[in-house]
Structure formats: structure tokens, C-alpha cells
């Protein structure tokens, strides 16, 4: 159990953890002082138990107090209650996710149901209340564990309905190993294996379950498990995958990459108003013949041909949305008018 005040994790002692756990398990309901005493001391409470519970409550109030939380723990006969929103308690978030997912499943919205179930299950970080030492809370722990497993089985059912058996094989197997006596999980594992072409492995799961139940408890598999085994042997449609998988994985499409290796424009660029106007006219008003507008800049080495072309390219880049291509045709024995590689006349080209 973790309690956080903003970004600060609260360090709570053993008794504070027990009392807080009981209050949270009964959030927004009154818990009697006798019940809190029983949770802390069991059947042998000290004579000062009531006053000690009052001290624990006061300490909890100090720990979790803050703006908007002054009245979080209230004194209400015959005991105390904690007022907390569903957004502040992961148990409430989990229960809300599961209830909404089950409603969505009934209405046929399987993808949304699967996503919500996974979101709720992702809130779990291990055994509930594993660090709260109270024998009286074991019944609550058992109930919470059962709620989680039921939600997990709901998720597997939904994903099998969606035809996601390939993705589920390992996940269902791991859950079945941890809970070898949950026959619903074993049935889901058998179906997932069968649908992935592993009929022998699916039947082996049934045989192992039957042997374990008979050896340890003197029981035989349930009607549900026997029905799944028989359906697999008959290749019955009840265990085959759906004929149409909802929202199949789309085939990836490789996007078309536009040429865009355009160097940065010159830091300082002055003059050349006449050539700039001529280039504008050539590039933005192509001939009526349908040919592409073409501008050629020529001149002696070091006169700024590349700087002019790059300046124009950056001015007009929004007008040429299909891309730009810059080619360095390089040579090493002429100076240029801006910092960069040395070029010969006509040593660079720009196509837009």
C-alpha cells in the first residue's frame, strides 16, 4: 500500500497502515472504532485500545493533511470515515474500468472493453496489502485477488473473441501456472493453443489438470473444461477462432519521402535585387507551354552564385511543396564569398 501527498510518498508506521487500509477499503463509509481495534490487535486488544486508535487517527490526519484535504478523515459515530474521490484511489479506478468494460462488452464494443480491462489491470503492482500486517484483512485480500483474476479472465475472453489468440498464448499460460486450479483460465489456455495449431498441447493441458484435480482433491474436471476438451477433439466451431477478426492489423505503408536536404541560407545577404526579381519571374511564372520554370545562375568564382540560389530557395520553399534538391558538385581551388566549402564556378546546383 502506498499513500502519496502530491509528489511525496508518506512513510507510515505499521498501525497507521492498518487503520488507513481499513478506511480505504471502506472509503466514504463509516468504520466503527471496534472494527479498527480488531484489525490492529485481533482478539487481544489492550485496555487502552480506543485511546490508541484516537492517537493513530490524529497522526493520520497530520500525515495526509494539505490544501483541500483538511477534512479527509472525519469522526462519525460509531467511528471514522475517509472521504476520497475515485481518482485518488486505485481500487476505485480499477472497479470503474472493469464495470465499464463489462458494459461495453455486452454492447459489442470489444476493442474498447479490452483496452479498459488492461488499463484497470495495469494498476496492480503485486499482491494487495502485502505490506499491511493484519490477519483481519485477509478476507479483503482474498476478495481483491479474486476481483483481479475475474477481470483478467474477462480480458482473455474478450481478446479471444477478437481473434487475438496468437498474442494471448504466453500470457494465458503464465496466468494458468500461477493459478493452476482456476478451470476458466485452463479452458482459455486450451482454446488459445488449439487456435494456434497446437491441438496436442491443448489436450495435454486438460490431461494435466485432470491428473492434478484427482490427485490433490479427488475431483474430476468441471463440465466447462470437459466441454472444451470434447469441442477440440471434434474441431467444433465453438472453439475455433472468429471468421472475421475485428480491426485486423493494417499492412504498414512506407511513406513517400520528399527530398529536403536544403542547406541553411547565408547569414548576411545584401544587394542582388535585380537578379532576385528575374528569378522570381522565371520560377513563379513558367511559360504557357507547360514546361517547368528554370533559372540558371552563372558567373565567376566568388561572386555569390550559391548564396543567391540558397537565398531564393528559402524564400520560395513554401511554394514548392514537392521538395527541394541541393547538389554539391564540388571542386577545391576557388574562393567563395561566404563561409563554407571552396567551389569552382558552377560547382553547385539547386532544383526545386
Tell me the average pLDDT across 134-149. 94
Neighbours of 262 (CB within 10 A): 16
Contacts of 260 (CB under 8 A, 6+ apart): 323, 324
Is 197 among the domain residues?
Answer: no
* Confidence grade of residue 129 (pLDDT, cut at 50, 70, 90): very high
In a shared domain, residues 316 and 339 = yes
> Quick one: pLDDT band at residue 199, thresholds 50, 70, 90?
very high
Instruction: Taking residues 161-167, report their average pLDDT.
Output: 92
Domain C-terminal end among 84, 112, 130: 84
The whole-angstrom separation of Cα 212 and Cα 221 is 10
Query: What are residue 134's DSSP bridge partners?
Result: none
Lowest mean pLDDT among 26-30, 32-36, 99-103, 319-323: 319-323
Segment 211-226 mean pLDDT: 92
Residues 103 and 156 in one domain: yes
pLDDT band at 349 (very low <50, low <70, confident <90, very high): low
Structural domain that includes position 311 = 273-286+294-351
Average pLDDT of the residues in 11-22: 92
pLDDT, position 247: 45
Clarify whether residues 143 and 95 are in a common domain.
yes
As a whole number, the mean pLDDT across the chain is 82
Q: Is the pLDDT of residue 77 over 60?
A: yes
Per-residue pLDDT band for 143 (boundaries 50, 70, 90) equals very high
DSSP for 61-88, written as a single string: HHHH--TT-TTSEEEETTEEEE---GGG
Q: For residue 254, is it within any domain? A: no
Does 191 map to a domain? Answer: no
The answer on 114 and 80 residing in a single domain is no
Tally of domains within the chain: 3
Considering the chain, what percentage of its residues have pLDDT values greater than 90? 54
Residue 49 lies in a domain: yes
Task: Identify the band that residue 87 occupies on the pLDDT scale cut at 50, 70 and 90.
Answer: confident
What is the rounded distance in angstroms from the CA atom of residue 162 to the CA atom of residue 243?
Answer: 10
**Last-in-domain residue among 41, 57, 84:** 84
The answer for residues whose C-beta is within 8 angstroms of residue 238's C-beta and 6 or more apart is 231
The reply to whether 188 falls in a domain is no
pLDDT of residue 238: 87
pLDDT digits (tens, 9 = 90+) for 238-282: 898 775 444 444 444 444 445 555 665 665 566 677 777 777 767
Statement to judge: residues 92 and 116 lie in one domain? yes
- Residue that is last in its domain, among 84, 99, 132: 84
User: Residue 225: its pLDDT value, please?
Assistant: 94
Q: Is the residue at 23 inside a domain?
A: yes
CATH code, domain carrying 59: 1.10.10.10
Please give the angle made by the CA atoms of 260, 262 and 263, to the nearest 5 degrees.
Answer: 150
Please give, one letter per residue, the 3-state secondary structure of 257-324: CCCCCCCCCCCCCCCCHHHHHHHHHHHHCCCCCCCCCCCCCCCCCCCCHHHHHHHHHHHHHHHCCCCC
User: What is d(CA 142, CA 85) in angstroms, rounded to the nearest whole number?
Assistant: 24
pLDDT at 148 over 90: yes
Residues 93 and 59 in one domain: no
Q: Tell me, yes or no, whether 19 lies in a domain.
A: yes
pLDDT in tens, 280-315: 767 765 555 555 667 788 887 777 778 778 777 767
Tell whether 282 is covered by a domain.
yes
Nearest 5°: CA angle at 111, between 192 and 244? Answer: 60
Amino acid at each position: 500500500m502506498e499513500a502519496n501527498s502530491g509528489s511525496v510518498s508518506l512513510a507510515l508506521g505499521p498501525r497507521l497502515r492498518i487503520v488507513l487500509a481499513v478506511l480505504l477499503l471502506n472509503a466514504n463509509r463509516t468504520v466503527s472504532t471496534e472494527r479498527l481495534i480488531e484489525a490492529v490487535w485481533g482478539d487481544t486488544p489492550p485496555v487502552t485500545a480506543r485511546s490508541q486508535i484516537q492517537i493513530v487517527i490524529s497522526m493520520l490526519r497530520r500525515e495526509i493533511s494539505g490544501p483541500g484535504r483538511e477534512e479527509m478523515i472525519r469522526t462519525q459515530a460509531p467511528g471514522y470515515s475517509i472521504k476520497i474521490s475515485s481518482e485518488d484511489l486505485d481500487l476505485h479506478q480499477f472497479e470503474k474500468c472493469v464495470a465499464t468494460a463489462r458494459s461495453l462488452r455486452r454492447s459489442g464494443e470489444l476493442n474498447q472493453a479490452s483496452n479498459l480491462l488492461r488499463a484497470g489491470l495495469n494498476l496492480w503492482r503485486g499482491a494487495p496489502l502485502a505490506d499491511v500486517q493484519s490477519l483481519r484483512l485477509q478476507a479483503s485480500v482474498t476478495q481483491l485477488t479474486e476481483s483481479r483474476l475475474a477481470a483478467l479472465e474477462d480480458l482473455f475472453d474478450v481478446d479471444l473473441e477478437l481473434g487475438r489468440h496468437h498474442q494471448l498464448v504466453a500470457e494465458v499460460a503464465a496466468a494458468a501456472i500461477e493459478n493452476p486450479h482456476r478451470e476458466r483460465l485452463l479452458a482459455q489456455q486450451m482454446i488459445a493453443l488449439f487456435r494456434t495449431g497446437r491441438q496436442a498441447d491443448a489436450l495435454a493441458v486438460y490431461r494435466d489438470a485432470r491428473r492434478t484435480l484427482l490427485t490433490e482433491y479427488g475431483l474430476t474436471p468441471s463440465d466447462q473444461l470437459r466441454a472444451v476438451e470434447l469441442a477440440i477433439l471434434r474441431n467444433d466451431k465453438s472453439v475455433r477462432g472468429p471468421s472475421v477478426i475485428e480491426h485486423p492489423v493494417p499492412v504498414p505503408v512506407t511513406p513517400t519521402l520528399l527530398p529536403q536536404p536544403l542547406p541553411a541560407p547565408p547569414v548576411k545577404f545584401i544587394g542582388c535585387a535585380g537578379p532576385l526579381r528575374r528569378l522570381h519571374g522565371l520560377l513563379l511564372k513558367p511559360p504557357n507551354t507547360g514546361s517547368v520554370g528554370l533559372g540558371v545562375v552563372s558567373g565567376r568564382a566568388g561572386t555569390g552564385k550559391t548564396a543567391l540560389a540558397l537565398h531564393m530557395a528559402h524564400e520560395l520553399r513554401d511554394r514548392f511543396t514537392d521538395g527541394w534538391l541541393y547538389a554539391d558538385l564540388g571542386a577545391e581551388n576557388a574562393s567563395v564569398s561566404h563561409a563554407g566549402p571552396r567551389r569552382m564556378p558552377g560547382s553547385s546546383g539547386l532544383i526545386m
